[in-house]
Amino acid sequence: MRLLVTGGCGFIGSNFIRYVLDHYQPEMVTNLDALTYAGSLESTADFLPEFGDRYEFIRSDIADFGGVDEVLSKHSYFAVVNFAAESHVDRSIMSPENFIHTNIVGASNLLNASRRHGVKRFVQVSTDEVYGSLGETGRFTEGSPVNPSSPYSASKASADLLVLAAYKTYGQDVVVTRCSNNYGPYQFPEKLVPVAILRALANEAVPVYGDGLNVRDWIHVEDHCAAVFDVLMQGRAGEIYNVGAESERRNLDMVRAILSHLGKSGESIEFVADRPGHDRRYAIDSTKIRAEIGWKPLHTLERGLADTIEWYRENEPWWREVQRSR
C-alpha cells in the first residue's frame, strides 16, 4: 500500500506519517510538502534513518497541478491524505489570498489528479472551525451547517464542499474528517499551547486574546492521527467524521495549566486585543466515528499536556531551529 501524504512536514502531517510508519507496514509513504512557513524538515529529520526506503520526501506545491499530476503518475497510490493547508487564523485575516491558493485551489488539484490516476481513496483532513461558533451548550455533529468566521475556516469549508461534491458528481471515493484543537509535539510555535510553553520557559509574558474565556475542545495529535488512519481504512465513502476528545477547556485555563506545570505565576498572563471574528466556543460530537469505526482517544488532556510541555523542554534544538529559520 502506497500513501501520498500532503503537508507531511507540518505539525499534524508529520505526526501522522510517524504514526503510520511506527504502527503499520505501508509499502511507501510519500510526503509532498511545499515547505511554507509552518512546514519544517526538522520535524521529519528522523524519518529516513528510522524508516529507510519506506519513506520519501518531494518538495512541491499542491496548488501546482503539473507538480501534483507528475507525482501521482509515477506510482499507483492507494490513497491521498490531504493535510496540506495554511492554518493560522491571524495570518488568514492579514493575507487571505494565500489560504485560497493552498486550501481551495490545492485541494481541487489533488482531487482532480487523484481521479485522473485512479487513486482509490481521498481523505480531506479538515477542522471543526468550519462550523463556526457554538453557544454555551451543545456540540457540533456532522449534520451541523458550515458557518465559517474567518478566511481560514471559509477556505477549509470550501475545500470540504469540493471534496464532497466529487463524491456526488464523479463517484470519487472520498472521506472528510473534522477535528477539534490539536496539541502535542512538533507544533509550530505560533499556536496557543507552544506559545504559552515557550514564553513561560523564557520568563516572558504569555499573551491571551480578549478575556481568555473562549472554549476549545482539545485533542492530542496522536489521537487525531489514529482517527485519520482509521477513517482512511474503514470510513464510508462520501461521509464526514467528526473527531474530538470531549476535553473542553477555556483558553485561559489551558495557559494557567501550562504555567502551573512549569512552576510559573499566573501574573505572567497578558491579555491582548481580541482577534476579529474570534469564535467563542467549539465542541465536537464524535459519536459517529466511535460507533461506526471504534476509535476513541487514548490520551487524557492532563497527561497529554504534561507530556507536551516536557517534550518542548527536552527538544529545544528543534524549536530553536524552527524559530531561527523563520
SS3 category, 256: helix
Q: Would you say residue 146 has pLDDT above 70? A: yes
pLDDT of residue 108: 97
Q: Would you say residue 37 has pLDDT above 80? A: no
Distance of alpha carbon 257 from alpha carbon 153, whole angstroms: 27
pLDDT of residue 190: 84
Catalytic, out of 33, 61, 129, 248: 129
Confirm whether 128 is a catalytic residue: yes
Distances (CA, A) of 248 to 182, 194, 215: 12, 18, 6
Q: Would you say residue 304 has pLDDT above 80? A: yes
Highest mean pLDDT (candidates 124-138, 161-175, 275-289)? 161-175
Chain-wide mean pLDDT for the chain?
94
Confidence of residue 135 (pLDDT cuts 50, 70, 90): confident
52-63 pLDDT tens trace: 999 999 999 999
276-297 pLDDT tens trace: 878 899 999 999 999 999 999 9
Please, are residues 40 and 11 in contact by the beta-carbon 8 Å criterion?
no
Q: Quick one: what percent of the chain has pLDDT higher than 70?
A: 99
- Taken in order of first residue, the domains within the chain and their CATH numbers are 2-183+219-246+280-300 (3.40.50.720)
Q: Would you say residue 168 has pLDDT above 90? A: yes
Confirm whether 267 is a catalytic residue: no
Q: Which residue do the cell numbers 464542499 mark? A: 161
pLDDT of residue 186: 96
64-121 pLDDT tens trace: 999 999 999 999 999 999 999 887 677 778 778 888 889 999 999 999 999 999 999 9
Which element (helix H / strand E) includes 240? Answer: strand 239-243
182-213 pLDDT tens trace: 999 999 888 999 999 999 999 999 999 999 99
pLDDT of residue 326: 65
Distance of alpha carbon 87 from alpha carbon 89, whole angstroms: 6
Catalytic, out of 19, 152, 167, 186: 152
Catalytic, out of 33, 61, 128, 217: 128
Distance of alpha carbon 149 from alpha carbon 178, whole angstroms: 16
Mean pLDDT over 263-267 rounds to 91
